Structures are given as C-alpha cells and as structure tokens.
Structure 1
Amino acid sequence: MATQVKATAKYVRVTPTKVRQLTRLIAGAPVSEAERILAFSEKRAAKPLLKVLRSAVSNAENNDGLDPDDLFVDRAWADEGPTLKRFQPRAMGRASRIRKRTSHITVVLSDNTN
C-alpha cells in the first residue's frame, strides 16, 4: 500500500485561482521535477507552493522515513480562505470594494509502491 504524506499552508495571501494554475502543472510529477517546475516559474504563487512541497518532503523524510527520490506529487490543491475586504475611494464620494483573497494550499505526496 502506498504511503501518503500531507503538508498544508493556511491563510496564504495569494488568490486560489493563481495557485491552481501551478497545482495543475505539478500534480502527478516526481518531487524533483515538481521542485524544478516551481523554482523556475515566474509566477508569484510558485514561492508559497514550493515551500509547502518542501515541507511535505521533509514530513515524509522525518516522520515516515521515506526516501525523497521515490516520492511523487499525488494531489495538490488550493482552497479559498477568508477574504480581506478593503475599500478604495472613487469619484463623487463613492467607494469600490477591493477583495484581497487568501488560500489554503495542500500538497499530498505518495511513494511509488503501487
């Protein structure tokens, strides 16, 4: 049976839509390739996602004694966290709402025993 290891980052100040673009790229990839994809990505969401991926690898090594070379990204997703609501002044005394969205990023790793 395949061992699964999970890592989560909550309340990350990046919109879930932008993180999901990258989670689609790394899903199913070996950890080394997923790290390479995120390290060379120019998107701002790559940095927190890479941090979660490395945390999951560290959890696998230290908690379960797994070899990082045998791991691959089983699943990765970004859920929507709470939205910070701000207002920006506009013409004629009006105001526009600005929504600063947050994400909960989760990465699940699995080993290649299946």
Structure 2
Amino acid sequence: MEAKATAKYVRVSPRKARIVLDQIRGKDVARAREILMFSERAISETILKVLDSAVANATNNHDMSANNLVVKTTYADEGPTMKRFTPRAKGSASRIRKRTSHITVIVAPREEA
C-alpha cells in the first residue's frame, strides 16, 4: 500500500523542482525532511509540505506508521505555461514563459519500497 500527495500549479519550472526531488527519492521520511529543511532552494519549502501531506495521508487513510515510511517516488510534471511579453528594441517584443509544475510525492512502507 502506498500514499500519494500532489501540489498542482506550483509557480516554479519543473526542471528546478526535479533538482530537489532527485535528492529525496529513495530516502526514509525523516532523512528527506532533514534534506528539505536545510536546502537553500525556494521550492524545497513547497516539497516539504507535499511530503508532510503524503505522510499524513498514509497515517490517517491507510493506518501506516510514519516511522516506517520511505519516499518511493517523486516527480514534477509540467503544468500550463503562462505567456507574457516584454518590450524590446525597435518596437519588437520578447516572450516570457512563466512555467508551472505539478509536484507528486509517493510514500510507502519500507518493505514495499
């Protein structure tokens, strides 16, 4: 049995989120929380909330012990991109792409992962 939590439409590019998600994949929950709390990247705070939500889903919905959980899978899918324009030289314009991502964290008991 595994528990899952997702944060949708997070205003960060998936590429930046994947850097932090790769660091916690496969670690036990206590170690993953430690890595996220001391990470200097801004997205780590959001990922910590998603991880805590996945742990809460596991304990409340599936009666799993929080001490025995491991981060089984993490991924950041691309969400919709907001397109904006900024003025450039000679009356032209450049496109600014404000990317969003959907961050998913799946936790499972140590034996399954």
For residue 61 of structure 1, what is the amino acid of its counterpart?
T
Q: CA deviation at 1:84?
A: 0.3
Q: How does 1:18-33 map to 2 (within 5 A)?
A: 18-33=16-31
Alignment of 1:113 onto 2:111: yes
From 45, 70, 73, the equivalent of 1:72 is: 70
Q: Which residue of 1 aligns with 2:93?
A: 95
Secondary structure in structure 2 of the residue aligned to 1:113: coil
Can you give the 5+ residue segments of structure 1 that lack an aligned partner in the other structure? none
For residue 33 of structure 2, what is the amino acid of its counterpart?
E
Alignment of 1:12 onto 2:5: no
Q: CA deviation at 1:113?
A: 2.7
Q: Which residue of 2 aligns with 1:37?
A: 35
User: Take 2:61 and 2:77, find their aligned partners in 1: how far apart are those partners?
Assistant: 25
For the aligned residues, what is the CA RMSD? 0.8
User: Take 1:98 and 1:113, find their aligned partners in 2: how far apart are those partners?
Assistant: 46
User: Take 1:42 and 1:113, find their aligned partners in 2: how far apart are those partners?
Assistant: 31
User: Take 1:81 and 1:58, find their aligned partners in 2: how far apart are those partners?
Assistant: 25
Secondary structure in structure 2 of the residue aligned to 1:52: helix
Number of residue pairs matched by the alignment: 112
1:30-59 CA deviation, whole Å, 9 max, x = no partner? 000001100110001111111100100010
For residue 95 of structure 1, what is the amino acid of its counterpart?
A
Q: CA deviation at 1:13?
A: 0.3
Q: CA deviation at 1:77?
A: 0.3
User: Given the two structures, how large is their TM-score scaled by the length of structure 2?
Assistant: 0.96
Can you give the 5+ residue segments of structure 2 that lack an aligned partner in the other structure? none
User: Given the two structures, how large is their TM-score scaled by the length of structure 1?
Assistant: 0.95
